[in-house]
Amino acid sequence: MLFLIDYENVGIAGMKGCDYLDGQDHVIIFYSESSKHMEQRALEDITASGCTFEICKLCKPGKNALDFYIASKLGELTGQGQEGTAVIISNDSGFQAVRDYWEKRAARKRRVLVSPSIEDGIISGNENNERTAELRRLRQKLGIGAYYSNYKEEKRIRTVLQKLFEGTEFESRIEEIQNMIEGKEKSAKIIYLSSLRLFGRKNGLEVYNTIKSSGELQRVKSI
């Protein structure tokens, strides 16, 4: 994806999601003398991503000057054969005209999006890839109370497991055991087979029987 960032307009808020950039992206930051500083972590995330990275500083201040820079650069890159989705990172509604031009009037239609941040741009791009799926997952709305109840239950289970396997050879593998018994639709048979797969037949049976014998875990799973 191509990201044209109106940094003077969005500031550091527009850089949210820069840790999800990758080597297939092209990032251009447009800025002015009044907006020439950015948090180090954002710049390091950009360079660490392996993306194509450019900057463009405004030569002379003027009304909507950076907007014209961005529109011009988009036209330049498109003329050079740039393909794929382009995202203008800005809160300026005037960029909708740029989007409409490439969608309706250009000889070859191009997909141009306008988003307030890199993260929003990635999601709006709707690419079928891991980063888009992960960002959508992270942005799901969860009930605070229900989430906290699950959190407390997970801590309780961890404490029970630590006591059950304290001093055994499985003491260092508590996280694996907890992941094995938690989750939706995990019957006793599934947990049993998972234990054999993770620890081998003999040890897996020992782990399973230890869990099964614990009265403190009976109400968690049908073990």
- Inform me whether the pLDDT recorded for 219 exceeds 80: no
Whole-angstrom distance, CA of residue 10 vs CA of residue 3: 13
- Inform me whether the pLDDT recorded for 110 exceeds 80: no
CA angle 174, 180, 184 (to 5 degrees): 135
CA dihedral 210, 215, 221, 223 (to 10 degrees): 50
pLDDT at 186: 72
Mean pLDDT of 48-55: 97
Residue (of 117, 157, 122, 149) closest to 137 by Cα position: 122
pLDDT at 220: 53
Neighbour tally for 157: CB within 10 Å:
19
pLDDT tens-digit map of 7-51: 999 999 999 999 999 999 999 999 999 999 999 999 999 999 999
Residue (of 13, 7, 20, 34) closest to 88 by Cα position: 7
pLDDT at 62: 78
Q: Look at 58-62, 103-107, 112-116 and tell me which has the smallest mean pLDDT.
A: 103-107
11: left (phi over 0), alpha (psi -120 to 50) or beta: left
Q: Which of 30-44, 59-73, 105-119, 175-189 has the highest mean pLDDT?
A: 30-44
pLDDT tens-digit map of 122-160: 999 999 999 999 999 999 999 999 999 999 999 999 999
Longest dimension (CA), the chain: 75
CATH class of 2-138: alpha beta
190: left (phi over 0), alpha (psi -120 to 50) or beta: alpha
pLDDT at 107: 67
pLDDT at 104: 82
Domain limits, the chain:
2-138, 144-212
pLDDT tens-digit map of 169-218: 999 999 999 999 887 667 888 899 999 999 999 999 999 999 988 888 76
pLDDT at 121: 97
